[in-house]
Amino acid sequence: MKPAWDKLMKEFADSSTALVADVDCTSDGKPLCDSNGVQGFPTLKWGDPSAMEKYEGGRDYDALKRFAENNLKPMCSPGNIDLCDDDQTVAIEALQGMSMDDLKSEIENGDETIAQAEKDFKDSVSELQAKYQKLMSDKDETIANIKDDGLGLKKAVLAHRMKMDKAGKDEL
């Protein structure tokens, strides 16, 4: 992915409205990474610098470039209200009218709901993985038991008898 990312950085190097960059989260960039929830590498973030979102798309150059062209531009936000449509403006104004405590509570509830959804997903995947392992083990045990019970020998005897029967009929 690094070559694709480097190519994308060169492509957007002269942009006045989009920044494509990389940050070393193990040294000077660690505080920036920590404040944006970067936990694994590589992690791609995009959007409003005050509310970065995790990029979940393709990692090849074409997918990255397509995403960047469609999304890395000035967007509707409280700092760019002139780019918002009427519905977005109304939503921003409503949020700006909330108390700080209520706004923080809404964000906390949203983050908790997302975290719970991710936990539920991971737990369910773990359960599915355990079930898969059990089914695989049961299948392998059944196959081994059938083979241990002489399936191969039974097939060999049947093939031999069929060969002998055919040989006997050919003589008549």
DSSP string, 55-70: --S--SHHHHHHHHHH
* Cis peptide bond upstream of 3, omega within 30: no
Say how many C-beta atoms besides its own lie within 10 A of residue 64's C-beta.
21
Name residues whose C-beta falls within 8 Å of residue 64's C-beta, 6 or more positions apart in sequence. 4, 5, 8, 57, 58
| Beta bridge mates, 53 | 46
Task: Provide φ and ψ at 14, rounded to 5°.
Answer: -100, 10
CA distance 87 to 85: 6
Determine the pLDDT at residue 14.
87
Q: What's the one-letter identity of residue 149?
A: D
Residues of the chain predicted below pLDDT 50:
none
**Which residue matches tokens 């359960």?**
127
pLDDT of res. 30: 86
- pLDDT for the residue 44: 87
Does the pTM surpass 0.75? The reply is no
